[in-house]
Amino acid sequence: MGIGKNKVIGKIPREKLKYALQKLDEIVKLLEPYLLMLTPGEREALVKIGEESFRFLELSHEIAVNYPDLFPTFMQTAVFKEEFSTVNELWSFVNKINNLKDRINDMKMMAGNHALEFAITFYHTVKLAARHDIPGTKMIFDELKPKFPANKKKRRKPQNNDRQLELF
């Protein structure tokens, strides 16, 4: 049973997409002065905050606020509160964006899959027409053939047939 074979992909009206993109541009412009741009090395060096570590952070913050005497004197409580506030606010924001991103990607993937099925059927029809010398189809087939997805997989395989076996 294929995934989503019976799902109909509704087209999002172009004006809605255009409006949504404008709103995304507004969000980027609004937040840009406050956002960071880490280098790949900086990003790799940082501890990643997942669901479990966020829950630990949340509980630690709550306990630190309720028991300030337990907070280490060499650390600034105000900085911890500020950093927690930032991550807490961004946590729900990022989750909402990720959910939207996942849903948009799912729609794009499903629509792309359906469209690719049509394109492959079209390709095979053109290929058959070219074999039967239907005028103009050979040129179309020759243009489509190098882009056909199955052909790319074949080209990626290493061609080491003429190498000799090395024993030492």
- For residue 126, with 0-12 CB atoms within 10 Å meaning exposed, 13-18 middle and 19 or more buried, which class applies? buried
Q: What is the pLDDT of residues 4-13, one digit of tens each?
A: 556 667 789 9
Residue type, 47: V
Range of the domain at 83: 48-155
d(CA 27, CA 94): 13
Q: Classify residue 122: in a domain, yes or no.
A: yes
The predicted pLDDT at position 125 comes to 96
Does residue 147 belong to any structural domain of this protein?
A: yes
Residue 66 lies in a domain: yes
CB–CB of 58/20 below 8 Å?
no
The pTM of the full predicted model, rounded to 2 decimals, is 0.66
Domain membership flag for residue 21: no
pLDDT at position 9 is 74
Number of domains forming the structure of the chain: 1
Give me the mean pLDDT over the 114-122 stretch: 94
**Residue 152 clears pLDDT 70, i.e. is over it:** no
Q: State the pLDDT at residue 158.
A: 52
Decide if 88 is inside a domain: yes
How many other C-beta atoms lie within 10 A of the C-beta of residue 117?
Answer: 12
- pLDDT at site 5: 59
In a domain, 89, yes or no: yes
Q: Is 11 a domain residue? A: no
- Integer Cα distance of 136 and 130 in angstroms: 8
Measured distance between the N- and C-terminal CA atoms of the chain, rounded to whole angstroms:
51
- Residues 14-69 pLDDT 10s: 999 999 999 999 999 999 999 999 999 999 999 988 999 999 999 999 999 999 89
Residue 25 lies in a domain: no
Q: How far apart are CA 108 and CA 87, in angstroms?
A: 30
